[in-house]
Chain A
Amino acid sequence: MNAVLEIKNYSKVYSGNKKAVDNLNLSVKAGEIHAFIGHNGAGKTTTIRGIVGIMDFDEGEILINGHSIKDDPVKCKSMTAYIPDNPDLYDYVTGIQYLNYMCDMFSVSAKERVSRIQKYADVFKLTDSLGDLISSYSHGMKQKLALIGAFIHSPHLLVLDEPFVGLDPEASFHLKKMMRELCDAGAAIFFSTHVLEVAEKLCDKVTIINNGKMMQSGTMEEIKGSHSLEDVFMEVVENERQV
């Protein structure tokens, strides 16, 4: 399987000399769901922002299907879907206007967009509300709309920052199913989460990051062995603290 996402020697320094992310290397192959876990401020969002090309970086290389996010950002972005941890949407447009906008930006044909919107909006029970302004939506509804906007253009790489926060149990169930279906169709998913049980059940691979440095990375079986992912994570963090 080809690597959809490759991160090579990625480092990010914000200000001063402290590295938010320090020499990160990992790859996500087609068909894989890759969990990215770490405590608050570990460098997860900084890495994700670099991957999706919304934050500049000085050291390293990030490739999406072999294209560099630095040299060819438009090509990379056209293959990627991203949802941040708190997806603030355009409150002044309706749900359908937002989805139509996303389809225009990702060049989804007029015919295809209707069927895809229908499919995903029905799954998340959002169809009836699509004609209303996003400002009238609850937090969970906005989250669902952002997810539809991400899935609608069938991305090669789906990058999610804490996707399960704010979703009701039914929507979480559907999201997990949709993630697996997308990967089965040949895409790759890279997502950060604090919900370790979900990561353990859903993901093929996992990377643990602490203070900007990669602590462990591999298949779920390799990383956790006979323990739970929570035990492994706590052990890694505790060892690092002692060091």
Chain B
Amino acid sequence: MKGKYKYLLRMQLYNLFGINRLIHSHNKQEKQRSAIVATLGLVAIAVFAIYITEFSNSMAQAGLSKALPTLIVVACSLATLTLTFVKSTGVLIGIKDFDMVMSLPVNTISIVTSRITLLYLINLIVGFIAMLPSSVIYIVYEHPPISCYLFLVGALFLTPIIPMIISLSLGVLIIAVSSRSRHKNIFSLVLSTFVLLTIVFASARTQSMDATQITNLGAAMAETANKFYPPAILLTNALLNNDWAGFAIFAAVSMLSGIAFVTIVSHYYKALNTAVFSHYAKKDYKLETLKASSPFMALYKKELCRLSSCTIYALNSCIGIVLLFVMSVAAVFFMPSALRQQVEMMGIMSTIQNIMPIALSIFVSMTSTTAASLSLEGKSRWIMCSAPTQARIIYNSKIAVNLTVILPVLYVSGIFIRIAIPCSLLQTILMFVIPTVYAFFISVLGMYLNIKFPKYDWTSEYYAVKGGAISVLATIGGGISSSFIPLYLCMMFPQYQMIIIPSITCLILLGTLAIYHKVCQTQLYV
């Protein structure tokens, strides 16, 4: 079993980071593209690692180094929980090569284990980036006993397991429940969005500490972690109090939960996949009148179908705007009056009113269906390429879908926020205009990057949407930076807010026009 599991895993890894393509492709362009992807990936890792290091270092300098172990565990667990949930089902269930893999002379446990190992390795990389810098700083500041080194190494490898299993279980459960429904994609999308919002809000709650809690950060985080995630306490105790028994229990619980999950899923693997692959067919169609549309409308409708039919695509690309909507509703109906009074007393209301357009733009710039829209054409891209229409119309239809997702929700959310926060007429207008500019920017940027870095050879939509899909990562990275930088500048130089915001918006608008011009000039080939 072990040998064949190794082969299965190796085949998965070939597809994941594009290393195999980089080594074996004779196409110069493809090699260049892979090199750019690798460089961008390394830059992203470096930025994330520097941020974590800086944050941990400031905590240690403030005398809060004892809180670092908790921070390490919580940060890694939350990252794993969110990332795994978003990608879980696409890697494990409903994969395109299911028939081929299941026909091989390997047992189901090997197949499931190879798939889960792949997810574990991805989470391990994320975990290493999240945990390693903090661990080093903890060692430098606290000079812990030698046993602590062992615990830290163990923590690096074990911490991702439980959150990964929790996320995978939720994903599999959603598939099992929704597969009974005729509209399983929509059902799965609604359930998945609900779970993801719960995870995001739970993690936001762990970070929403008031001033008193911040002065006692370690205790506050330990208390929160204890409440939401008991295994974190076992590990924290082990690191802080040299608790061997606690660490042993943590290790045992992590590994046993992994083994139990693999065993249970292996048992139902065939049934779960059969449910996913079985399709409702009525076979009673009667041909009636058909409505003709323009090529643009035909492409647009097809794109909307694509978005609603693929849970992982919709969940990944639309979560930003969904979060904005939920938060705007919360701002109107659930914002405590005490908080509102506190904001007014602190005299920061005018700052909030001024930066609100950029704050909304952050959520907008996290929403890009275009970044994966071309990749998702996959093997059926011959239809798009051979259609008698200009490539520009195809791109426009994909951009229009992203605007359809963003703009209505943005305007409704804008109205809610306007009700929650009183603003002048100019501030209100900017609150609608600036995020609209960002909506066009992120749509066009996503399209451009996906044209530059398409990923057509996927076996599961996950690989087009997330795994190694540099266009998605670069779009979200570019989008968020474009809104975070002006926000940061506004906070640093509040006296220049009304210069910074319009200037950067104009730059974004000009950038959008330039990128769109470039997009329109690009031809489409298979």
- Distance between B382 CB and nearest chain A CB, rounded to angstroms: 5
- In the assembly, what is the distance between CA of A53 and CA of B391, in Å? 12
Q: Is the CB of B526 within 8 A of A110?
A: no
Contact with B along A70-105 (1 / 0, CB 8 A): 000111111110101011111011011100110111
- In the assembly, what is the distance between CA of A168 and CA of B379, in Å? 24
- In the assembly, what is the distance between CA of A15 and CA of B281, in Å? 45
- List residues of chain B with CB within 8 A of the CB of A90: 302, 305-306, 380, 383
- List residues of chain A with CB within 8 A of the CB of B389: 74, 77, 105
Q: Is the CB of B293 within 8 A of A14?
A: no
Q: Is the CB of B284 within 8 A of A128?
A: yes
Interface residues of A in 37-80 (CB under 8 A from B): 49, 52-56, 73-80
- In the assembly, what is the distance between CA of A69 and CA of B20, in Å? 34
Report the nearest A residue to B283, measured CB to CB.
Answer: A128
Q: Is the CB of A78 within 8 A of B388?
A: yes
Q: Is the CB of A88 within 8 A of B386?
A: no
Q: Is the CB of B283 within 8 A of A132?
A: yes
Within 8 Å of chain A (Cβ to Cβ): is B28? yes
- In the assembly, what is the distance between CA of A93 and CA of B301, in Å? 10
Contact with A along B381-395 (1 / 0, CB 8 A): 011011111100000
Contact A130 to B388, CB < 8 A, known contacts A88-B379, A101-B302, A135-B279: no
Contact A15 to B390, CB < 8 A, known contacts A56-B523, A89-B380, A132-B279: no
- List residues of chain B with CB within 8 A of the CB of A84: 382
Q: Is the CB of B281 within 8 A of A53?
A: no
Contact with A along B404-426 (1 / 0, CB 8 A): 00000000000000000000000
- Distance between A155 CB and nearest chain B CB, rounded to angstroms: 10
Interface residues of A in 124-151 (CB under 8 A from B): 127-133, 135-136
Within 8 Å of chain B (Cβ to Cβ): is A169? no
Q: Is the CB of A130 within 8 A of B306?
A: no
- List residues of chain B with CB within 8 A of the CB of A56: 523, 525
Q: Is the CB of B26 within 8 A of A16?
A: yes
Within 8 Å of chain B (Cβ to Cβ): is A117? yes
- Distance between A52 CB and nearest chain B CB, rounded to angstroms: 5
Contact A97 to B305, CB < 8 A, known contacts A131-B282, A131-B285: yes
- Distance between A102 CB and nearest chain B CB, rounded to angstroms: 8
- List residues of chain B with CB within 8 A of the CB of A104: 292-295, 297-298
* Cβ-defined partner of B526 (8 Å) among A55, A96, A127, A135: A55
Report the nearest B residue to A77, measured CB to CB.
Answer: B388
- List residues of chain A with CB within 8 A of the CB of B494: none
Interface residues of B in 106-126 (CB under 8 A from A): none
- In the assembly, what is the distance between CA of A16 and CA of B26, in Å? 7
Contact A131 to B27, CB < 8 A, known contacts A56-B525, A77-B387, A110-B290: no
Q: Is the CB of A54 within 8 A of B279?
A: no
Q: Is the CB of A92 within 8 A of B306?
A: yes
- In the assembly, what is the distance between CA of A58 and CA of B159, in Å? 54
Which has the most chain B C-beta neighbours within 10 Å: A75, A106, A118? A106
Within 8 Å of chain B (Cβ to Cβ): is A121? yes
Within 8 Å of chain B (Cβ to Cβ): is A234? no
Interface size range of chain B in the complex: 35 or more
- Distance between B251 CB and nearest chain A CB, rounded to angstroms: 43
- In the assembly, what is the distance between CA of A127 and CA of B286, in Å? 7
- List residues of chain B with CB within 8 A of the CB of A89: 380, 383
- Distance between A191 CB and nearest chain B CB, rounded to angstroms: 15
Report the nearest A residue to B526, measured CB to CB.
Answer: A54
Within 8 Å of chain A (Cβ to Cβ): is B273? no
Within 8 Å of chain A (Cβ to Cβ): is B309? yes
Q: Is the CB of B305 within 8 A of A109?
A: no
- In the assembly, what is the distance between CA of A193 and CA of B181, in Å? 42
- Distance between B24 CB and nearest chain A CB, rounded to angstroms: 12
- In the assembly, what is the distance between CA of A25 and CA of B310, in Å? 44
- Distance between B340 CB and nearest chain A CB, rounded to angstroms: 45
- In the assembly, what is the distance between CA of A106 and CA of B298, in Å? 11
Which has the most chain A C-beta neighbours within 10 Å: B27, B291, B298, B310? B298
Interface residues of B in 227-256 (CB under 8 A from A): none
Contact A103 to B287, CB < 8 A, known contacts A74-B389, A89-B380, A132-B282: no
* Cβ-defined partner of A127 (8 Å) among B285, B291, B379: B285
- List residues of chain A with CB within 8 A of the CB of B208: none
* Cβ-defined partner of B378 (8 Å) among A53, A88, A105, A135: A88
Within 8 Å of chain A (Cβ to Cβ): is B289? yes
Within 8 Å of chain B (Cβ to Cβ): is A178? no
- In the assembly, what is the distance between CA of A22 and CA of B351, in Å? 68
- List residues of chain A with CB within 8 A of the CB of B301: 101
- List residues of chain B with CB within 8 A of the CB of A97: 302, 305
Q: Is the CB of A109 within 8 A of B292?
A: yes
Within 8 Å of chain A (Cβ to Cβ): is B280? yes
Report the nearest A residue to B296, measured CB to CB.
Answer: A104
Within 8 Å of chain B (Cβ to Cβ): is A114? yes
Within 8 Å of chain B (Cβ to Cβ): is A180? no
Q: Is the CB of A127 within 8 A of B388?
A: no
Q: Is the CB of B292 within 8 A of A105?
A: no
- List residues of chain A with CB within 8 A of the CB of B526: 49, 54-55
Q: A14-B26, A88-B378, A131-B284 are in contact. List 14 more A-B contacts (CB 8 A).
A: A52-B386, A54-B525, A54-B526, A79-B388, A82-B382, A92-B310, A93-B302, A101-B298, A114-B289, A114-B290, A117-B287, A129-B281, A129-B283, A132-B279
29 CB contacts below 8 A, A to B, read A15-B26, A54-B385, A54-B526, A74-B388, A74-B390, A76-B388, A77-B389, A82-B382, A88-B378, A88-B380, A92-B306, A96-B287, A96-B290, A100-B290, A100-B291, A100-B298, A105-B387, A106-B387, A106-B388, A107-B295, A110-B290, A110-B291, A110-B292, A128-B283, A129-B283, A129-B285, A130-B285, A132-B283, A133-B281
